[in-house]
Amino acid sequence: MHSNRKRLLIVGGVAGGASCAARARRLDEEWEITIFERGPFVSFANCGLPYYIGEVIVDEDDLLVASPELFRDRFDIEVRTGSNVRQIYRDTKEIEVEDIHTGNVYREGYDALLLSPGSEPLRPGIEGIDLPGIFTVGTIPDTRAVVDWIKSSRVSRVAVVGGGFIGLEMTENLKKRDMVVTIIEMQHHVMPVIDPEMAAFIHGHLQSLGVELCLGSPVKAFREAGKDGLSILLENGNSVPADMVILAMGVRPRIELASSSGLSIGKLGGIQVNGQMQTSDSTIWAVGDAVEVDNIVSGKKDLIPLAGPANRQGRIAAESILGLNSDKCRFRGVQGTAVCGILGMTVASTGITEKRLNQGGDDGLRDSYEKIYLHPDHHAAYYPDAKTITIKLIFSKTDGRILGAQAVGQEGVEKRIDVISMVIQNGGTVFDLEEAELCYAPQYGSAKDPVNLAGMIAANVIKGYLNVSHWEDMDDPNIFILDVRDKDEFEEGHVPHAVNIPLNTLRSNLERLPRDREIRTYCYVGQRSYFATRILIQKGFRTSNLSGGFLMYQAVKKILK
Ligand code: FAD
């Protein structure tokens, strides 16, 4: 017998589900709220799991953000763990639940139902993928299994299949446990969510720390190789030995419940929702990894399996379910803002990549974007321990709208991407970056912060003060390549066929430059060559500046061979 209270039932008790439940309770004391979670824990920190394996987080309890008791006592929310929701009966507004421990199957009625079932780690049907010693990392029981295997099999060599966020975080944590790690990635670079030339910096960093990279070849089979050993065969014929394999091959939305009950599923395979996170059934909401949402930059649907969107969507769904503030509560969309730490290097990105623009997925943007690279210090160069950040900014050539940004470095990387991400969310332009008023004191930044510098360079391009060329444009034999660095720098290495005229002697050597050919000018990072470019343009030469300079060119050539 149920009370007369309205009933909100929630499927999935972690990021989106727990967030919705707690927000709903804070806004309304009357609704009866129940969370059904098929796993043994609710509200656990899945993002912290790699760090538990790396023994950075030593106490497993620290991964538990909230317990069922806390939900009951503080929020008057009932949590049923070990409870698998098997079916939705939309006509009677009921769900069917299986108690995993007792096998008991029962139904519960709802006034509102929220689905936050998350995503499933990909485990493709590769030969041998179910052999002992091969793991995914998505839950606390998964991490327990990994830790137990490490102990019982005395693991020293690990193959991480997949070089995305989870693969890199696992690599960092396994290295912290002194293991020999090989990353196997079927694409030609790690971190598929950034562009290859930016990933080149991560490749160099990983290789300098002894992480082996097997790029550009998918796994063909997993085979047993001696006691507790495995051999991973690649499509290119190579094989990698390992005592343990971590699969980090991506995720797919869990949509079985939604699709079997006839809710609309989008083209990308996620549950379709509106801005209030409402599905095609007005009494059912869905959030998190399982849903398709609008990408703010491309205007198209996207699947972005990240904790931030799941949490924010959970809050919006709660307000929508309670019928509150419908005019102010709308999910704005995603832009894929993300960060990953990898053994002292940080890589962060927001918006869309050049790769994606060139794949033609974002009509109208493909032919109208420009990009710039820069390598500013994370704080004033004269203050000790300044570290370089390499930034790539992608923007519309026509109106300066920012389309995406990526950055790698040791310090201050995520701060810059966070700032740019907010400008993107507000539909802002490179001129907004140019004018952004940001914190400055020598130990934190510079009077011209890296974000301002990115805006200034891009604004110069749009205003016509600067033409940029890029690392991939430098091998054209018809172009005159001008290196304006000092002689000793030039002699240490330069772009093939480049002519060296140091910046300080440029004005007195103009007769050495052709007036009938384009001149591509470069220096080490792009600043001196910008000065040179400005001189040459005003003297009537056709010229452009190699964005990101020789540093970018050299890094890419060395690593993306
Ligand atoms: P989840 O938080 O995964 O919750 C879904 C829950 O639903 C699961 O517990 C599942 O058991 C339960 N469930 C599913 N179906 C049913 C059913 N039928 N009945 C009952 N229960 C069900 N994101 C970041 O932004 N930054 C990070 O650093 C980061 N690191 C990560 C590291 C790892 C190892 C992992 C696995 C993920 C990481 N993520 C990170 C991604 C982030 O955790 C997810 O995007 C987020 O948790 C998604 O929230 P969700 O509510 O959609 O799903």
Res 69: pLDDT: 96
State the pLDDT at residue 228: 67
Provide the 3-class DSSP secondary structure of residue 517.
coil
For ligand 1, atom 49: residue with the closest CA: 15
N-to-C CA span, the chain: 69
Tell me the C-alpha distance between 465 and 285, whole Å. Answer: 50
Q: Is the CB of 175 under 6 A from ligand 1?
A: no
Mean pLDDT of 435-461: 97
pLDDT over threshold 90, residue 557: no
Under the banding of pLDDT at 50, 70 and 90, the label for residue 443 is very high
Question: What is the Cα Rg of the chain in Å?
Answer: 27
For the residues of 214-271, what is the DSSP string, one character each? EES--EEEEEE-STT-EEEEETTS-EEEESEEEE---EEE--HHHHHTT--B-TTSSE
At 267, the pLDDT band (50, 70, 90 cuts) reads very high
Q: Which atom of ligand 1 is nearest to the CA of 305?
A: 45
The fraction of the chain above a pLDDT of 70, given in percent, is: 98
- Regarding pTM above 0.85, the answer is yes
Spatial contact of 191 and 338, defined as CB atoms under 8 Å apart? no
* Predicted confidence band of residue 153 (pLDDT cuts 50, 70, 90): confident
Q: Whose CA is nearest to atom 29 of ligand 1?
A: 47
Q: Is the CB of residue 38 below 6 angstroms from any atom belonging to ligand 1?
A: yes
Q: Which whole number is the average pLDDT over 171-189?
A: 96
Of 88, 130, 438, 56, the C-alpha closest to 96 is 88
pLDDT of residue 154: 86
Give the pLDDT of residue 374. 97
Residue 560 in this model has a pLDDT that exceeds 70: no
> Which of 20, 42, 47 for a ligand 1 pocket mutation test, highest count of atoms within 8 Å of Cβ?
47
Please tell me the number of Cα atoms within 13 Å of 505 on its side-chain side.
13
C-beta of 46 in contact with ligand 1 (< 6 A): yes
E strand map for 250-374: 251-253, 271-272, 284-286, 291-294, 301-302, 338-342, 345-351, 369-374
User: Does residue 308 have its Cβ closer than 6 Å to ligand 1?
Assistant: yes
Distance in Å, CA 124 to ligand 1 centroid: 19
How far apart CA 215 and CA 186 sit, in angstroms, is 6
% of the chain beyond a pLDDT of 90: 93
pLDDT of residue 207: 94
Is the pLDDT score of 378 beyond 60?
Answer: yes
Q: Residue 357 Cα, ligand 1 centroid: separation in angstroms? A: 29
User: What spacing in Å lies between the alpha carbon of 136 and ligand 1's midpoint?
Assistant: 13
pLDDT reading at 353 higher than 90: yes
Tell the residue nearest (CA) to atom 30 of ligand 1: 47
What pLDDT does residue 367 have? 82
- pLDDT at residue 328, as a whole number: 87
197 to 144, 201, 403, 542: CA distances (angstroms): 36, 7, 17, 27
**445 close to 454: Cβ distance less than 8 angstroms:** no
Task: Please say if the pLDDT value at position 326 is more than 90.
Answer: no
Distance CA 58, CA 72 (A): 27
Mean pLDDT, the chain, integer? 95
Task: Look at residue 274 in the predicted model and tell me its pLDDT.
Answer: 97
pLDDT at 336: 96
Q: Which pLDDT tens digit goes with each residue over 389-412?
A: 999 999 999 999 999 999 999 999
Which residue's CA is minimally distant from atom 15 of ligand 1? 117
Ligand 1 centroid vs 119 CA: distance in angstroms? 6
Listing DSSP states for 70-86 in one string gives: HHHHHH-EEEEETEEEE
CA of 344 to the centre of ligand 1 (A): 26
Please tell me the distance between residue 46's alpha carbon and the centre of ligand 1 in angstroms. Answer: 6
Mean predicted confidence (pLDDT) in 484-491: 98
Count of C-beta atoms within a 10 Å radius of residue 497: 12
Residue 540: both structure tokens together: 């009537």
For residue 137, report the distance from its CA to the centre of ligand 1, in Å. Answer: 11
Catalytically annotated residue among 20, 47, 329, 340: 47
Q: Does the beta carbon of 121 lie inside 6 Å of ligand 1?
A: no
C-alpha dihedral (22, 28, 32, 33), degrees to nearest 10: -20
Q: Determine the pLDDT at residue 362.
A: 65
Q: In what order do the strands lie in the sheet with 499-500?
A: 468-469, 543-546, 519-522, 480-483, 499-500
Question: What pLDDT is attached to residue 361?
Answer: 65
Mean pLDDT score, 104-123? 98
Atom from ligand 1 closest to the CA of residue 42: 9
Q: What is the largest CA-CA distance in the chain?
A: 95
Residue 523 known to be catalytic: no
With the most atoms of ligand 1 within 8 angstroms of its CB, the residue from 10, 14, 165, 331 to mutate is: 14
Query: 4-21: per-residue pLDDT in tens?
Result: 899 999 999 999 999 999
Decide: 117 in ligand 1 pocket, CB within 6 A: yes
Q: Which residues of 447-468 are buried (b: 16+ CB within 10 A; e: fewer)?
A: eebbbbbbbbbbbbbbeeebbb
Residue of minimum CA distance from atom 39 in ligand 1: 47
CA-closest residue to ligand 1 atom 28: 47
> Has residue 1 got a pLDDT over 60?
no
Tell me phi and psi for residue 446, to 5 degrees.
Answer: -135, 160
User: For residue 561, is pLDDT > 70?
Assistant: no
pLDDT at 293 over 90: yes
